[in-house]
């Protein structure tokens, strides 16, 4: 696992331990919190055009970064509770996606792998 990810998970574990929040951090609760934070991230893009979403003004970048951080924190806490290495899982998923979506059949297309 990445040292940065491992260090962050350790810090998150300690942060929760100091506050006795572990009792609330079940996988179910963390997954729910992750969903809420992802929705809060999405809210920043609601009603923007594609172009506007690609060129966020400076005053929007900070709040978006905070929501991204919340999403990452809950992903890392959930992975930690379940004993999943998130970096390894992401690499394995990339390998699976490469098989599902070969460049020759997928490049420039939005269709799902079973619709290719």
Residue 1 has pLDDT above 90, yes or no: no
Residue 94 has pLDDT above 70, yes or no: yes
- How many C-beta atoms lie closer than 10 Å to residue 73's C-beta? 19
CA distance 28 to 74: 11
Rounded to an integer, the average pLDDT of 78-83 is 98
Q: Which CATH superfamily is domain 3-83 in?
A: MazG-like (1.10.287.1080)
Which pLDDT does position 115 carry in this prediction?
Answer: 83
pTM of the model: 0.90
Angle at 42 between CA 40 and CA 48, to 5 degrees: 130
Rounded to an integer, the average pLDDT of 79-97 is 97
Residue 68 has pLDDT above 60, yes or no: yes
Residue extent(s) of CATH 1.10.287.1080 domains in the chain: 3-83
């Amino acid at each position: 696992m990445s040292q940065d990810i491992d260090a962050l998970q350790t810090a998150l574990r300690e942060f929760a331990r100091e506050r006795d929040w572990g009792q609330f951090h079940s996988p179910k609760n963390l997954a729910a919190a992750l969903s809420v934070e992802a929705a809060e991230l999405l809210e920043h893009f609601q009603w923007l055009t594609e172009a506007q979403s690609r060129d966020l003004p400076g005053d929007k970048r900070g709040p978006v970064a905070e929501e991204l951080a919340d999403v990452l924190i809950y992903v890392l806490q959930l992975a930690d509770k379940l004993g999943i290495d998130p970096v390894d899982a992401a690499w394995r998923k990339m390998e699976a996606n490469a098989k599902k979506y070969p460049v020759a059949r997928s490049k420039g297309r939005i269709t799902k792998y079973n619709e290719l």
